[in-house]
Amino acid sequence: MKWLKIVATLLSAAGTIAVAVVAIWGDLIRRKLAGPRVSLGIRSDLPDMTQRNDGTRTAYFQLQLRNRRSWSPARSARVLITSLSKRLPSGDYGIEPLVYPVQLHWTPPSFRPLVADVRSEDVCDLGSLDEGAKAFRLATYAPPNNFSGFVAAGESIRVSIIVEGENYQSKVPLEVEVSWDGQWASNPLELQRHLVVRENKPAGQEPLGS
């Protein structure tokens, strides 16, 4: 009987500790064990060619979001640019000022709210280049006045991008590099030679959201 009392006492103590742990770190445990797992990457190396209502031809690039736990959606998520740098004459990249994280458009922006629940897959716009335009422009909502989210002829930028929601935030930002030589082409394969959009993946970096 004595050993039964000891076991009961230990179980009671363990239960008390477990309740305390859940009370203090419950949300963290749930996010770790059952939270969303979102990855982010460039949807395609080739631009999506379309035509605006005024007849202007436009090349779009998008980002693809995938949630490996579709049963656990990332709630009220946004895709945010957290830093931006431009190539200097030396070839290095210098950080541009960014007063606050800038949100990218959900696709299509005209029919989407600012936040979205990402269940399995979703798409957002990275940026676009119009035929005859002087620069590629990132697809952002309400950027600050000093935002340098454009790529003119001969320029290159790098942007760090994360996914953030009520119950999720990327651990590692996705870094995208955009370079343009100033030339336009209506054929996606031809334009790809002039407007290069690619992911920069440092050696050993885990996929975003892992």
Instruction: Tell me the mean pLDDT in the region 191-200.
Output: 96
Summarised one tens digit per residue, pLDDT across range 128-176 is: 999 999 999 999 999 999 999 999 999 999 999 999 999 999 999 999 9
User: What share of the chain has pLDDT > 70, as a percent?
Assistant: 80
Instruction: Tell me the mean pLDDT in the region 9-18.
Output: 56
Domain for residue 206, yes or no? no
Instruction: Tell me the mean pLDDT in the region 199-206.
Output: 60
Among candidate residues 184, 201, 209, the one with its CA nearest the CA of residue 57 = 184
Q: Do 60 and 21 share a domain, yes or no?
A: no
Provide the pLDDT for residue 111. Answer: 86
Domain for residue 205, yes or no? no
* Residue 22: pLDDT over 50: no
Taking the mean position of all CA atoms in its chain, how far away is CA 41?
Answer: 7
pLDDT band at 110 (very low <50, low <70, confident <90, very high): confident
Domain for residue 90, yes or no? yes
Q: Do 138 and 165 share a domain, yes or no?
A: yes
Q: Are 157 and 151 in contact (CB under 8 A)?
A: yes
Domain count, the chain: 2
Q: Do 7 and 100 share a domain, yes or no?
A: no
Query: The tokens of 101 are what?
Result: 């994280």
20/191: higher pLDDT: 191
H/E element, 65? strand 57-67
Go through the chain and tell me how many residues it has: 210
Among candidate residues 133, 107, 128, the one with its CA nearest the CA of residue 118 = 107
72 secondary structure, DSSP code:
S
Summarised one tens digit per residue, pLDDT across range 35-87 is: 999 999 999 989 999 998 888 999 999 999 999 999 999 999 999 999 999 99
Distance CA 47, CA 197 (A): 9
Q: Do 30 and 40 share a domain, yes or no?
A: no
Q: Do 91 and 14 share a domain, yes or no?
A: no
Domain for residue 176, yes or no? yes
Q: Do 170 and 74 share a domain, yes or no?
A: yes
Range of the structural domain that residue 4 is part of:
1-34
Provide the pLDDT for residue 75. Answer: 97
92/11: higher pLDDT: 92
Query: The tokens of 121 are what?
Result: 């897959």
Domain for residue 209, yes or no? no
pLDDT band at 34 (very low <50, low <70, confident <90, very high): low
H/E element, 192? helix 188-194
Domain for residue 191, yes or no? yes
pLDDT band at 19 (very low <50, low <70, confident <90, very high): very low
Q: Do 14 and 105 share a domain, yes or no?
A: no
3-state secondary structure of 7: helix
Instruction: Tell me the mean pLDDT in the region 22-32.
Output: 48
Distance CA 59, CA 102 (A): 21
> Which one-letter amino acid corresponds to residue 186?
S
Domain for residue 64, yes or no? yes
Cis, bond preceding 108 (omega within 30 deg of 0): yes
What is the average pLDDT value for the chain, to the nearest integer? Answer: 86
Q: Do 79 and 158 share a domain, yes or no?
A: yes
Domain for residue 207, yes or no? no
Provide the pLDDT for residue 184. Answer: 97
Q: Do 111 and 16 share a domain, yes or no?
A: no
